[in-house]
């Protein structure tokens, strides 16, 4: 008798069925909330960078651009009031922020950032893979000790090295020069470690086959081993480029003394201002957009590799 | 071949000439942080005027982001700018660390600088550096709201409380002021109190302090004063500009901000209301520090002399006049330049200048950071009614005593 009260196999109670039907919606709601929390700030950054200054203060959440486009923010030398360029939800886009940010030398900072990030990335690809290969494949006295020392440098917090590095660069006359930021950062322990681990996973037989065919070490490295290491090289390239693009502290110490050598992070911090400077929102946000855009484009173009890189290295955000 | 050689010779000549003239010229670096674009341009104009009069000195102006980190690295390495901005709150730290040299006695007509600004940069009885420019706190009020409520601009604490009450509505607070030491000190001085006495002992535990705290707490507990955050604004100037509040207590930086961001706002400026002991305000100021040759390798005897000449020019009568005529936010440090500043900026801003006569400096002995943090945290609690006035004053005096004990 009691068994009849139990539901038959495959039949579920209405409550469970309701819960099951609701689960996807709960999931969607959570995902949409999470996505909005990331997207809304970005949309507002872009929208506010295109507003006249009074409109930023009066209607920071206005996000719909409406014609007339590219209005002037000044009329006869007088700043136009917020109500003339925004309705609270819509706004007339203006280029004031972009004009003033380019007057503030942004073009130069963009070039510097790209140049430094590219140089550091290319040099790291070369030196990290050479060093990683040597440590993985070539037996020489002190091999293990050198690797341990290189790994040991990863344990030292970067800020500790700031002042010694500043003093050494000063003595070498490399302050306020591209070389002062590129040379100290052209090889790094993490990259060497990453490459060494990868090269060790490549079977020895491949190199032995190369040796039989008469290839020397360099031919083997550049023609055979390096092309096989594309996943590791991609990961290294992405991390290096991103790290160099966003680097603030090293650049401040080495290049802070010459405005023409600044990078975008320094420039943005300059626009944000210190004591005594009021933040000019549209100018600052225009700078943020220009700083973010290249990285965003690179990310979307190489999204697959980014994810692979993170998977491969197992060290997201290094 | 011949052409190549001639070109090469010409090039060598140019290079060697460059080297000769570089030897004759002393290059000094002036480091600071960026202010508004017009202010940066005015400083560059001052430097150009100096170089025109002193062709033997080359001045590199270097406005850096994250100024404190930049300077601290320089101090640690023993190689930093020859002349650099020193905020009044940093003076005692940096003077006791001997990174700036006292050059007060080598300046011309130093008496022309407001007395209150000289005292800010005096440490151990020596004037270390002349003030570059300064800002004072005043009362900004929304003229439309005052007219609508039929209230007169307050000149005393009683009038301030009455005006704040009359102006407070469901949407608008009477006054916005952050419960923090930098905005509380004017109340303390207006009631005749002080944090430290002349001998450096703690003077906080007094009836004057209790009266000042009571006045501030009353405004908050009754809902007539609210913080900017509470009003949904980033800072007091923003809340005032957005019309969420009828009065604010900010400094000169608010002028350009309100003109740029809220061109329609109808606002006025008045001196801070006087307390039982009279008028008082705060002066926020920055000086041009000259690097001490003992701790800076790039401060050679020639560079030191050139640095002093530069600072003397920038802060002398002529330099102050240039600051005044450019008419940006902060004011020139000499009384003679007050008129040009007012005519460039507008007579309505006279209360900012008047404050110079009775302003107290924003400056503390080294190691007072913890005291300021404790003070601010507890003041917030007191304005919420979670801490009685007596409890608050006792805790503040204890925190100050700890800082003083640490110092000795």
B127 contacts chain A (CB < 8 A)? no
pLDDT of B278 higher than 90: yes
Express each pLDDT in B150-166 by its tens digit.
999 999 999 999 999 99
Confidence of residue B327 (pLDDT cuts 50, 70, 90): confident
In CATH terms, the fold of domain A104-313 is MetI-like fold (1.10.3720)
Residue B16 banded pLDDT, cuts 50, 70, 90: very low
Q: Which of A53, A163, A280 sits opposite B73 (nearest CB)?
A: A163
pLDDT value of residue B3: 53
Give the per-residue pLDDT at A95: 92
Nearest CA in chain A to B254: A278
Check residue A77 and give left, alpha or beta (phi > 0: left; psi -120 to 50: alpha): left
Domains assigned to chain B: 27-135+284-354 (3.40.190.10), 136-282+362-407 (3.40.190.10)
Q: Show me where the domains of chain A are located.
A: 45-94, 104-313
Low-confidence ranges of chain A (pLDDT < 70): 1-10, 273-278, 306, 308-318
| Interchain pair A252, B66: CB under 8 A | yes
Determine contact: B73 vs chain A, CB below 8 A.
yes
Cross-strand pairs, B373: none
User: Is A277 part of the contact surface with chain B (CB cutoff 8 Å)?
Assistant: yes
Interchain contact, B35 vs A280, CB within 8 Å: no
Q: Smallest Cβ distance to A163: which of B39, B76, B261? A: B76
Of A81, A249, A277, Cβ closest to residue B34? A277
Q: Does B75 touch chain A (CB under 8 A)?
A: no
Chain B partners within 8 Å of A256 (Cβ) = 62, 64-66, 70
Of A79, A274, A280, the CB nearest to B67: A274
**8-27 in A: which are within 8 Å (CB) of B?**
none
Chain B within 8 Å of A261 (Cβ-Cβ)? no
Residue B20's pLDDT is 43
> Of B29, B77, B242, which is closest to A57 when you measure between CB atoms?
B242
What pLDDT does residue B1 have? 47
Please check whether residue A60 is in contact with residue A91, taking contact to mean a CB–CB distance below 8 angstroms. no
B61 touches chain A (CB under 8 A): no
Element (H, E) at B269: strand B267-270
pLDDT the model gives residue B396: 94
**Contact: A57, B64; criterion CB under 8 Å:** no
pLDDT at B12: 52
Of A54, A163, A275, the CB nearest to B261: A54
Contact B33 A276 (CB under 8 A): yes
Q: Is B12 helix (H, G, I), strand (E, B) or coil?
A: helix
pLDDT score of A317 = 41
pLDDT tens track for B89-135: 889 889 999 999 999 999 998 899 998 899 889 998 999 999 999 99
Residue-level pLDDT at B10 = 54
pLDDT at A269: 87
Q: How far is B71 from chain A (nearest CA, A)?
A: 9
Put simply, whether B156 touches A (Cβ < 8 Å) is: no
ipTM above 0.90, yes or no: no
The pLDDT of residue A10 is: 65
CB contact under 8 A, A274 and B87: no
Q: A270 and B330 in contact by Cβ < 8 A?
A: no
Give the model's pLDDT for residue B6: 56
Contact state of B73 with A277 under an 8 Å Cβ cutoff: no
- Contact residues on chain B for A100, CB-CB shorter than 8 A: 37
Which pair of structure tokens corresponds to residue B153? Answer: 């601009």
């Amino acid at each position: 008798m009691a068994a009849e009260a139990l539901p038959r196999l495959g039949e579920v109670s209405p409550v469970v069925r309701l819960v099951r039907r609701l689960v996807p919606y709960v999931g969607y709601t959570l995902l949409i909330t999470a996505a909005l929390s990331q997207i809304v700030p970005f949309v507002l950054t872009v929208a506010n960078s295109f507003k006249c200054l009074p409109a930023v203060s009066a209607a920071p959440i206005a996000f719909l651009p409406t014609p007339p486009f590219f209005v002037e923010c000044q009329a006869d030398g007088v700043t136009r009031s917020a109500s003339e360029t925004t309705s609270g939800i819509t706004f007339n886009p203006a280029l004031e922020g972009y004009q003033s940010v380019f007057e503030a030398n942004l073009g130069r900072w963009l070039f510097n950032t790209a140049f430094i990030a590219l140089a550091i990335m290319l040099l790291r690809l070369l030196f990290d893979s050479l060093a990683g290969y040597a440590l993985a494949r070539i037996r020489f006295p002190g091999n293990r000790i050198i690797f341990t020392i290189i790994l040991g440098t990863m344990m030292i917090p970067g800020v500790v090295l700031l002042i010694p590095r500043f003093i050494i660069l000063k003595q070498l006359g490399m302050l306020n020069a591209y070389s002062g930021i590129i040379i100290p950062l052209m090889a790094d322990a993490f990259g060497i470690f990453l490459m060494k681990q990868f090269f060790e996973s490549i079977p020895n037989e491949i190199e032995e086959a190369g040796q039989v065919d008469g290839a020397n070490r360099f031919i083997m490295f550049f023609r055979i081993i390096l092309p096989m290491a594309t996943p590791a090289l991609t990961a290294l390239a992405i991390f290096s480029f991103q790290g160099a693009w966003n680097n603030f502290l090293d650049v401040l110490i080495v290049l802070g003394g010459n405005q023409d050598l600044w990078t975008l992070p320094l420039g943005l911090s300059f626009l944000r201002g210190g004591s005594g400077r009021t933040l000019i929102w549209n100018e600052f946000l225009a700078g943020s957009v220009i700083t973010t855009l290249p990285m965003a484009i690179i990310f979307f173009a190489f999204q697959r590799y980014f994810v692979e890189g993170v998977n491969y290295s197992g060290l997201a955000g290094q | 071949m011949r052409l190549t050689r001639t070109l090469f010779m010409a090039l060598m000549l140019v290079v060697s000439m460059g080297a000769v003239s570089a030897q004759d010229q002393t290059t000094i670096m002036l480091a600071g942080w960026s202010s508004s674009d017009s202010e940066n341009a005015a400083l560059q104009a001052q430097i150009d005027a100096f170089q025109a009069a002193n062709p033997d000195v080359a001045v590199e102006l270097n406005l850096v982001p994250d100024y404190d980190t930049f300077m601290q690295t320089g101090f640690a390495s023993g190689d930093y700018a020859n002349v650099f901005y020193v905020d009044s709150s940093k003076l005692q730290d940096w003077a006791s660390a001997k990174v700036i040299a006292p050059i007060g006695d080598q300046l011309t007509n130093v008496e022309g600088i407001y007395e209150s600004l000289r005292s800010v940069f005096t440490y151990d009885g020596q004037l270390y550096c002349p003030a570059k420019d300064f800002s004072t706190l005043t009362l900004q009020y929304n003229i439309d709201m005052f007219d609508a409520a039929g209230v007169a601009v307050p000149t005393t604490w009683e009038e301030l409380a009455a005006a704040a009450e009359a102006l407070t509505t469901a949407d608008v607070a009477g006054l916005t002021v952050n419960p923090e030491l930098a905005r509380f000190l004017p109340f303390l001085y207006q009631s005749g109190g002080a944090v430290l006495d002349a001998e450096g002992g703690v003077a906080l535990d007094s009836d004057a302090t209790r009266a000042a705290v009571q006045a501030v707490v009353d405004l908050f507990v009754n809902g007539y004063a609210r913080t900017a955050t509470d009003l949904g604004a980033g800072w007091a100037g923003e809340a005032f500009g957005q019309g969420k509040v009828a009065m604010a207590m900010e400094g000169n930086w608010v002028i350009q901000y309100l003109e740029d961001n809220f061109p329609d706002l109808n606002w006025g400026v008045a001196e801070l209301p006087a307390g039982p002991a009279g008028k008082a305000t705060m002066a926020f100021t920055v000086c041009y520090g000259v690097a001490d040759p003992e701790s800076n390798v790039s401060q050679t005897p020639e560079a030191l002399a050139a640095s002093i000449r530069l600072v003397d020019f920038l802060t002398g009568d002529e330099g102050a006049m240039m600051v005044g005529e450019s008419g940006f936010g902060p004011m020139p440090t000499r009384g003679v330049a007050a008129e040009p500043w007012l005519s460039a900026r507008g007579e309505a801003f006279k209360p900012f200048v008047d404050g110079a006569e009775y302003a107290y400096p924003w400056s503390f002995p080294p190691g007072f950071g913890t005291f300021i943090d404790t003070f601010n945290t507890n003041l917030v609690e007191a304005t919420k009614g979670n801490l009685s006035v007596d409890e608050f004053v006792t805790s503040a005096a204890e925190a100050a005593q700890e800082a003083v004990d640490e110092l000795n």
